[in-house]
Amino acid sequence: MKSIPRKHAEPGQIVAQKILNSDGVLLAEKGTEISEKLLRLLEQQNIETLVIEERERKKIFLVDDNMTNLTTGKAMLNEQYKVYPVPSADIMFNLLENIIPNMILLDIDMPDMNGYEAIKRLKSEPQWEEIPVIFLTSKTDEGSELEGLSLGAIDYVAKPFSAPLLLKRIENHLITERQKQQLKEFNTSLEEMVRRKTAQVFNLQNAVLSTVADLVEFRDDVTGGHISRTQKFLKLLLDKLVEEKIYSDEMSNWDMDYLLPSAQLHDVGKIAISDLILNKPGKLTDEEFNIMKTHVTIGVAAIKKIEQNAEEHAFLRHARLIAGTHHEKWDGSGYPSGLSGKDIPLEGRLMAIADVYDALISVRPYKKAFSTQEARQIIEKGKGTHFDPVLVDVFSKVADKFAAVARDL
């Protein structure tokens, strides 16, 4: 609200406090829109100041090369809108650099740039494309009207037009535009809310998951840092695959946001393996190794159980495939299913390299830590037998980066 001298008041502004004359007679209610008639009345009654709402009138560009049309158009619209009479499209574009109107009333037949050319340019610039345009024209044939509308105008009004009808149409279009804007703002805030909630769920899921993975790792105390390092190794391989467009088809339906976190569960089944086996100092007997192998099937069973109680989810699918196939070998000699070649899901083939490399560079009760160079040679030696040969080639290209991760051990 602001108090202004009556002389500065303009039609279209809204009275923010009721106006009484010196005898206490009501001249205008709060919320009344100021009209020329009201201004005259206030003058007669010697009302010198009034309080108005600080609401800007909607701005309309009236673009026409005919001066008479500009003058009469402005007179017609001025009471409700802030009208900018613009004599050519070029001048309109100059003005648009500083003022974005709520609507443009555009003539079609103009020298230099005509209305069709002007609307094409308006619609091609992101900062102007949303401004509603109504063609005001003497071209009344169906073809011209169709062309105007197909170029993106919201309406097409033939001259000479009836003032009340034009005003009503402008008002309706402005209401529609405002509703469109409100809907857009609503959608944006809705999208933002969904994005925030999704991130929350994602973070919560990761936190729970990391805790479960930590619990497993805590029991298996000889492999500290294994889970976080294998994720880093996996990421190095994945980034290279994406960069070189290798196995793009297999990865086309992967959700990368979920793949890496899901890898944390690859050894979740170890939670059911006895400490005596898990932390045995020395090599496992055949019987013990057979028990150790069950961590795969136990892990898969645990993830399947979650899947039964949850909707189909990329995260769980990746987790199940990684946990279930990371000990399979390319030549079919792995466990638990003895799958070979590309029958082993790509997730498992990738995890096999990350998992074995990390085991090699780590101290285990039954072995010393290999150097990164030795680990690299062992992986490369397993090309086509233990590991997917294509993935081993990819590994070789990023082996230095594997070594850098290993040095942080």
Q: Contact positions toward Fe ion, by CB under 5 A?
A: 267
| Residue listed under structure tokens 């990329």 | 314
Nearest residue to Fe ion by CB is 267
> Would you say 107 or 267 has its CB closer to Fe ion?
267
Distance, in Å, from the CA atom of 69 to the CA atom of 278, rounded to the nearest integer, reads: 91
Neighbours of 213 (CB within 10 A): 22
Angle at 58 between CA 54 and CA 64, to 5 degrees: 145
User: 222: which residues sit within 8 A by CB, 6+ positions away?
Assistant: 279, 362, 363, 364, 365
> Would you say 16 or 301 has its CB closer to Fe ion?
301
> Would you say 131 or 296 has its CB closer to Fe ion?
296
> Smallest distance from the beta carbon of 204 to Fe ion, in angstroms?
26
SS3 content of the chain, % helix, strand, coil (to 5): 55, 10, 35
Residue 51 · residue 2 · CB < 8 Å: yes
> Would you say 96 or 360 has its CB closer to Fe ion?
360
> Would you say 267 or 358 has its CB closer to Fe ion?
267
> Smallest distance from the beta carbon of 256 to Fe ion, in angstroms?
22
Length of the chain: 409
> Would you say 294 or 340 has its CB closer to Fe ion?
294
Q: Are strands 133-137 and 103-106 parallel, antiparallel or unpaired?
A: parallel
> Smallest distance from the beta carbon of 380 to Fe ion, in angstroms?
21
> Smallest distance from the beta carbon of 288 to Fe ion, in angstroms?
15
> Would you say 267 or 388 has its CB closer to Fe ion?
267
Angle at 163 between CA 160 and CA 166, to 5 degrees: 90
Angle at 338 between CA 218 and CA 375, to 5 degrees: 55
Helix (H) or strand (E) holding 356: helix 346-361
> Would you say 34 or 354 has its CB closer to Fe ion?
354
CB burial string 86-99: b at 16+ within 10 A, e below: bbbbeebbeebeee
Helix (H) or strand (E) holding 193: helix 163-219
> Smallest distance from the beta carbon of 241 to Fe ion, in angstroms?
22
> Smallest distance from the beta carbon of 292 to Fe ion, in angstroms?
9
> Smallest distance from the beta carbon of 326 to Fe ion, in angstroms?
6
> Smallest distance from the beta carbon of 297 to Fe ion, in angstroms?
11
Q: What tokens does 253 get?
A: 């339906």
Q: What tokens does 150 get?
A: 């197909």
